[in-house]
Amino acid sequence: MSRQIEFEHLNLSKWIPDEELKNFKSTVEHARNTLVKRDGAGNDFTGWLNHPVAYDKEEFERILQAAEEIRQNSDVLLVVGIGGSYLGARAAIEFLHHSFFNSLPDEKRKAPRIYFCGNSNSSKYLADLEDMLEGCDFSVNVISKSGTTTESAVAFRIIKQKLEEKYGKKEAAKRVYATTDKANGALKKMADKEGYTCFVIPDDIGGRYSVLTAVGLLPIAVSGADIKALMQGAADMRQRVLEAPYEENPSLQYAACRNLLLRKGKEIELLANYEPSLHYFSEWWKQLYGESEGKNQRGLFPASVDLTTDLHSMGQYIQDGARILFETVLYVEETERNVFIPEAAEDLDGLNYLAGKSMEFVNHAAMEGTILAHETGNVPVMRIKLPKQDEYTLGQMFCFFWFACGVSGYIGGINPFDQPGVESYKSNMFALLGKPGF
């Protein structure tokens, strides 16, 4: 059996005595039961709970077929989406593949280059993207429940025109894959009219919980990743968090610790990683927790750092700034590739004491030293151990964080599945743009 991810308290008892964590059990289990029984606020968006085992197997096969089609006929796949419509897929592709995936020669990459757009209103970004597409065969995966999200809709209109200019309207339509509502919305209406291949965003799964639906699975599969192993990892973690008792349940322990720290004045959770390829996983995590918990002038502020890089910019604040944060470290136990430090004939840089050691050894020492320094500086530290960077581990991570997020939301007395504040900026923007009705 593949190894499981583990949650560690480390030396958290300095801030949360064991007795306090034990006494919090009833509060956490009440929140857990609310989530599992689906009788809390936002319960109509909890389809992700059973999705790893109850997903549509027929559509899953269609995703695999479409991915292979794209792999055969395209040099580039453009993924058009914003928020939950792109962050999960981007996190997965960067987590699972070569650090320079898009720059590798075709024979080494063995998959189309994958670029993401429709996640900003930048004119420069889209113009630069158009330059990059010159001379390339490309396909488009446009992802939107409604089809009217401004950033994605505008980008798709521009790309659609370029696609039709290159291939003609009929052939262009064969290169568009729309992931959208099963029956309603502007994108679904357009897809039916134009004859695009369609995949469904389930009604009961919100965007930030959607990476294991067609939203994320199609681009992840195009990259060459094993989406069956991804789903298996999520299914196994689902069983674990549903069945394990409080004391042994990683999601419940994580939810409990972060909420107790919040009650002690720790207002910022800093997700730290020691691998650059986890950067976009942190971005996915920030949306999940920020959009789920930041309501009613409450909730932890989710922030992230890439270490050791950010120790040379944010390290001073983390060590000596306002004591309002705690740290959750993502630690990959087994690196896929290793580089060893050579011995120099003249030890001019003073590094021969490291000769023969691996960069992974250095990275691990930096992590342990940093954790010790931060704890000494009164920063509580938790750690999530990831056996390796593979599909099975990543599937576990998605489910682990989803479950903990739902439980955390109910502990805090909020609906973890809506996002009312997101609509405010849209109304103001539409009015400034002159959209009818605003």
Handedness of CA 317, 319, 323, 329 (dihedral sign): positive
Beta strands in 151-216 (DSSP E): 176-180, 197-200
Total H helices, total E strands in the chain: 18, 10
**DSSP code at position 358:** B
Helix pair 250-263, 227-243: axis angle to 10 deg: 70
H runs (alpha helix) in 185-278: 186-194, 214-222, 227-243, 250-263
Catalytic residues: 291, 426
Distances (CA, A) of 148 to 31, 145, 184, 416: 35, 8, 12, 24
| Cβ atoms within 10 Å, residue 301 | 15
CA 82/CA 121 separation, integer angstroms? 11
CA atoms 380, 386, 388, 391: torsion sign: negative
390 neighbors 379 (Cβ within 8 angstroms): no
Measured CA distances, 250 to 241, 245, 256, 401 (Å): 7, 10, 10, 10
Residue 303 C-beta-side C-alpha neighbours within 13 Å: 14
Integer Cα distance of 150 and 119 in angstroms: 9
